């Protein structure tokens, strides 16, 4: 990869594909300093390729590609190269909702449940009062919970249904907490009220009227496109490595749009011109203004992370846009990051300037650094060097320590309380995909989701705690919990940093009994020589009847143990004889264990 990247740097320095849009300003502005800075950022941050679109005066445009869209094939970026724009998609979703409001199909202050009757949050009050507008400005009280959807095969409807089971970390409308599932819900709702879907709405009401031809939603189609950027990341030793495309169509309204730099020119123009571009109007000036007005304050830390050159001025979130200032000029911006891609779309509405910067490297700040440079240059402001300090910070964070520090929290000399086989099984949390624990050999366990064939190896840490042996996950601790019977019954995993570890309940063995096999447990039993109970087979399931109580359905847990459906902590364990028929039953209850002979 070093040779490929070195060849790329030589090409990047020599080839920048200029595609000027017909404009007056493109003829009068010298863009050479921007070209120079873009090429420097490619070298400094090891970015394979980048595309830039600039609009000035609400009319003019400059489009240019730098570097390579495909390192292996040495193919250059141009203005038509497709990139994933990640969360810059959110501005499209927000405007799509405003379009439905203009059509009279919804109101921003409508409770979500008015349009999605099955919508539920964990708090009934929030379920009733969370509005369409709340979905678009990150104030639901939920932290990110990104592992609830990332890589999940669940449908949009299923992901929205999970919201009822996701714990908040802040009060409703109390603080800004970035949340992708809320934008998924907003896009899904907009599609439902128009008796369509989110993709169709964005395609027909934004892309087509604006003539945004090089756009899409499906990474499979993007991968097959002859002029699509390939995704890359910096792996170990800071090597640029090709990574797979990430299919996030299910969470689409939060971040699945792909676009070329040229395709984003009309989008920038419409945002700067009150919803109109070249004779086409996609929204009213009021709707554009509503998206660009503060709806939720954000902390100074957010402004710093987003590299806003706002000299300490307050920042906020509108509807699908971050809002701040650039050296006193009003700034409207949103970045995007998804596997192998980083993007930035930004506007200075008062100066009629817009930029879109697309790159094919995961999690790089290069687009934001270039955004600030472009704004300084076009405004004639004294330039601030954002690159040098950011680069120094990145190199410091990337440097490996000479030796790993001693782990003082780890208790040496311990071992698991059970054989490894006892930890295996399927663990369930209704807000997330199931986790599957298997034996991985060499005294280790393995973790995967039911939707993923990849295995994360778990090494014993201490006692019943295991830790992943994967880059980036070493600090994550998986704790297994035993129930009162001494059986492993749940695991605790810190999958959401803003919350305590989440509980996943171990699921019963998935065994299907025939009616004949269930009949082996059927019969009358006398508990403690006093209480008669009956076990019978009914409608293909095992039933337990205690006089004077409801009839309970028995669900298989393991071996000859069943749990009573609807009664937590209550189980029935059978003891079978040599003939395969149950001879005894023991009812396991929170207040004791009660055994009875078969009559």
pTM: 0.88
80 within some domain: yes
- pLDDT value at position 15? 40
Are 234 and 336 within one domain? yes
Look up the CATH number of the domain holding residue 24: 3.40.710.10
Are 322 and 366 within one domain? yes
Average pLDDT of the chain is: 91
553 within some domain: yes
Provide the percentage of residues in the chain whose pLDDT is more than 90.
Answer: 80
**How far is 413 from 68, CA to CA, in rounded Å?**
52
Are 273 and 365 within one domain? yes
Query: How far out from the chain centre does Cα 338 lie?
Result: 9
Are 332 and 468 within one domain? no
Residues 6+ apart with CB under 8 A from 276: 270, 282
How many residues comprise the chain? Answer: 599
* pLDDT tens figures, 156-168: 999 999 999 999 9
Q: For residue 325, how many other CB atoms are within 10 A of its CB?
A: 19
DSSP string, 130-195: -BHHHHTTT-SS----GGGTTT----HHHHHHHGGGPPPSS-TTTS----HHHHHHHHHHHHHHTT
Asked if pLDDT for residue 21 goes beyond 50, the answer is no
Are 427 and 297 within one domain? no
Cβ atoms of 336 and 321 closer than 8 Å? no
* pLDDT tens figures, 249-293: 999 999 999 999 999 999 999 999 999 999 999 999 999 999 999
Cβ atoms of 455 and 447 closer than 8 Å? yes
Domain that holds residue 531: 515-598
Helices 366-379 and 32-45 sit at what angle, rounded to 10 degrees?
160
Tokens of 233: 């990341």
**How far is 416 from 466, CA to CA, in rounded Å?**
9
- pLDDT value at position 57? 84
- pLDDT value at position 24? 30
* pLDDT tens figures, 77-124: 999 999 999 999 999 999 999 999 999 999 999 999 999 999 999 999
Are 201 and 328 within one domain? yes
- pLDDT value at position 28? 63
Look up the CATH number of the domain holding residue 538: 2.40.128.50
Asked if pLDDT for residue 417 goes beyond 80, the answer is yes
Are 231 and 297 within one domain? yes
Are 550 and 582 within one domain? yes
470 within some domain: yes
186 within some domain: no
Residue where a domain stops, chosen among 471, 506, 541: 506
Are 545 and 432 within one domain? no
Question: Residue 593's beta-bridge partner residues?
Answer: 588
Residue where a domain stops, chosen among 472, 506, 540: 506
- pLDDT value at position 61? 81
Predicted confidence band at 8 (pLDDT cuts at 50, 70, 90)?
A: very low
Asked if pLDDT for residue 17 goes beyond 50, the answer is no
Domain count, the chain: 3
What is the separation, in whole angstroms, between the first and last Cα of the chain?
75
409 within some domain: no
Tell me the mean pLDDT in the region 379-388. 92
- pLDDT value at position 311? 86
Q: For residue 42, how many other CB atoms are within 10 A of its CB?
A: 26
- pLDDT value at position 2? 41
183 within some domain: no
Residue where a domain stops, chosen among 481, 506, 531: 506
Cβ atoms of 450 and 437 closer than 8 Å? no
Are 391 and 427 within one domain? no
Are 500 and 544 within one domain? no
Are 471 and 519 within one domain? no
Least trusted range by pLDDT, from 97-111, 190-204, 400-414, 535-549: 400-414
């Amino acid at each position: 990869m070093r040779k490929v990247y070195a060849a790329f740097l030589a090409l990047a320095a020599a080839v920048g594909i200029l595609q000027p849009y017909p404009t007056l300003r493109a003829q009068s502005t010298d863009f050479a300093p921007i070209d120079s800075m873009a090429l420097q950022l490619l070298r400094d941050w090891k970015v394979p390729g980048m595309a830039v679109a600039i609009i000035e005066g609400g009319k003019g445009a400059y489009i240019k590609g730098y570097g390579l869209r495909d390192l292996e094939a040495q193919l250059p970026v141009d203005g038509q190269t497709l990139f994933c724009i990640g969360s810059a998609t959110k501005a499209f979703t927000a405007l799509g909702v405003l379009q439905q409001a203009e059509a009279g199909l919804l109101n921003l202050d409508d409770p979500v449940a008015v349009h999605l009757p099955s919508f539920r949050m964990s708090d009934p009050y929030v379920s009733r009062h969370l509005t369409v507008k709340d979905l678009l400005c990150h104030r639901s009280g939920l932290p990110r919970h990104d592992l609830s959807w990332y890589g999940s095969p669940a449908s949009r409807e299923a992901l929205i249904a999970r919201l009822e089971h996701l714990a908040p970390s802040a009060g409703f409308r109390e603080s800004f907490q970035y949340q992708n599932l809320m934008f998924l819900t907003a896009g899904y709702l907009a599609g439902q009220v128009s008796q369509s879907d989110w993709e169709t709405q964005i395609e027909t009401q934004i892309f087509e009227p604006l003539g945004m031809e090089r756009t899409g939603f499906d990474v499979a189609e993007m991968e097959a496109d002859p002029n699509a950027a390939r995704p890359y990341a910096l792996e170990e030793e800071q090597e640029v490595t090709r990574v797979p495309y990430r299919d996030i169509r299910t969470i689409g309204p939060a971040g699945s749009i792909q676009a070329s730099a040229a395709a984003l020119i009309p989008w920038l123009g419409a945002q700067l011109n009150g919803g109109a571009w070249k004779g086409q109007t996609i929204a009213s000036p009021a709707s554009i203004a509503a998206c660009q007005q503060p709806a939720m304050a954000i902390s100074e830390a957010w402004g710093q992370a987003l590299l806003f050159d706002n000299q300490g001025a307050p920042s906020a979130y509108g509807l699908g846009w971050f809002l701040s200032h650039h050296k006193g000029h009003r700034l409207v911006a949103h970045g995007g990051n998804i596997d192998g891609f980083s993007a930035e779309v930004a506007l200075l509405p008062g100066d009629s300037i817009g930029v879109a910067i697309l790159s094919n490297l995961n999690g790089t700040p290069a687009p934001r650094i270039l955004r600030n440079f472009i704004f300084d240059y076009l405004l004639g402001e004294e330039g601030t060097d954002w690159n040098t300090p950011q680069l120094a910070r990145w190199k410091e964070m990337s440097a490996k320590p000479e030796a790993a520090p001693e782990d003082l929290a780890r208790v040496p000399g311990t071992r698991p309380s059970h054989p490894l086989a006892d930890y295996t099984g399927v663990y369930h949390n209704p807000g997330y995909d199931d986790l599957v624990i298997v034996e991985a050999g060499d005294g280790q366990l393995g973790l995967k989701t039911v939707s993923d064939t990849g295995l994360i190896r778990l090494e014993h840490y201490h006692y019943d705690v295991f830790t992943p042996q994967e880059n980036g996950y070493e600090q994550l601790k998986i704790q297994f919990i035993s129930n009162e019977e001494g059986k492993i019954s749940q695991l605790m995993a810190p999958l959401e940093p803003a919350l305590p570890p989440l509980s996943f309940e171990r699921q019963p063995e998935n065994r299907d009994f025939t009616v004949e096999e269930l009949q082996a447990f059927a019969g009358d039993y006398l508990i403690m020589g006093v209480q008669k109970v009956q076990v019978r087979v009914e409608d293909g399931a095992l039933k337990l009847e205690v006089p004077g109580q409801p009839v309970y359905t028995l669900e298989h847990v393991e071996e000859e143990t069943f749990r009573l459906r609807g009664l937590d902590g209550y189980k029935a364990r059978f003891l079978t004889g040599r003939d395969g028929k149950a001879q005894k039953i023991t009812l396991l209850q929170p207040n004791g264990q009660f055994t009875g002979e078969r009559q």
